[in-house]
Amino acid sequence: MRRQTRGLYLLLGLFVAFVWYNYPFIAGKMFADSDDPDSGFFHRYHLSYHIRIPDYAQNAAQWINSQPDLFRILLLPDKKTNVYDWGFGGAGDVTLELFNKGIMFRQYGEGMAPPSSIEDVYNYAISLLYERPAEQRSRFIDVLRMLNVKYILLRSDFVYDFYGDNDSPAFLRSRLREQTGITRSKRFGKWEFYEISGVASRVQAFNAYTIWTGPTGPTPEAVAGLAAATGPVVYMSPKQYARWGQGLSAKMEPSKAQHKNNRQNCRPDTRFQQMSSTHYRVTIEQAACSFLLILNSSYHAGWQAFESGAGRRQDTPVHIQAGSHVIVNGYANGWLVGESEQPHREFEFEYRPQDFVRYGTLISIVVVCSMVLAWIIWRAMRARRS
């Protein structure tokens, strides 16, 4: 009886210690109040820990999340902080918690995100809208289409002048009105959505594209110009080109020249299904020719493409040449796929590092179950002895 009482007191003490240690989080005192208007955040606005997300933001999220297509949303104004006039402030924007689509905003801060090839393209798009002369700003929509951006979210509740900047919603509205192909689609309170026409699909196939080879890839400005004029831009390192590119010399022009398939009537028609954020299934019709298969997601060597056969994935990729995983349009994944006698072809994309997450989860479950089982056996053996 004394042992049970002692154990109960121990559990109670641990619970009290847990509550005491986490009291700032539980009570909303993580950021202490200040009476000094010049102290920290408080000279701008009163930072709140327990906040209520406005109804218009939740209504906007329902509208976005109800759309079946896969696309990205560009957030404006472009800032190095995520601060709203209704009390939210954080390293990540609140839209990350609301939307089930890809969000594009400036990455900043230690540990916020690893370097990504898409950052340079994003920064170029923002510079076009904010800084470039009028004759260059027309490229802004071309870059957004290439990035699979369907909507621009203009936030009037965003504290754009937190660091004294002057890119107000009025300024951005005037810049967006200049763009042909961008129209205001929906408004929810202080949030306005501008829709972009002709957005690139998340998965695409092309039988004509531009090859860029050299020690470094093309600049975002070069990519935007070439992509708008001649289609996707494929970057191949000299090693990649020397390894297998010469084998396509009958179909590939020299560096920086457009590659056109010799079957001009071949127009790959692509459909895809997202099984998860790390797994896609792709069906392509009119695909007997060779073509460039694109996944408009940030390039990573962990992405792998397989051609399926008889409804199952082959262990060895079929018709996807070794080393043909290339960077497309300065940020995306691409694979150069060889010819086939079959006009109907099926592929799968998988992000293989996700396997480590699955294995880790499985190991954790096994360890926890083993510990529980060991504890049950120990209790049973102890009961028998007593």
Over the chain (386 residues), the average pLDDT of each successive run of 10 is: 70 87 70 52 56 93 94 90 83 89 76 68 91 89 91 94 85 93 95 93 87 80 79 80 52 41 67 89 86 89 80 48 78 86 87 87 92 88 79
The enclosing H or E element of 307 equals strand 303-309
pLDDT of res. 2:
62
Q: How is the chain split among helix, strand and coil, in percent rounded to 5?
A: 35, 25, 40
Q: What pLDDT is attached to residue 315?
A: 47
Non-local CB neighbours of 136 within 8 Å, separated by 6+ positions: 128
Report pLDDT for 188.
97
Quote the pTM value: 0.77
Find, among 214, 207, 212, the residue nearest to 222 by Cα. 212
Query: Which run of H or E residues covers position 73?
Result: strand 72-76
DSSP 88: -
Q: What is the pLDDT of residue 12?
A: 87
* CB contact at 8 A, 149 and 140: no
Distance CA 213, CA 236 (A): 5
pLDDT at 264: 53
Sign of CA dihedral 21, 22, 23, 28: positive
* DSSP calls for 182-205: EEEEEEETTEEEEEESSPPPSEEE
Contact partners, residue 370, CB within 8 Å, separation at least 6: none
**pLDDT recorded at residue 45:** 56
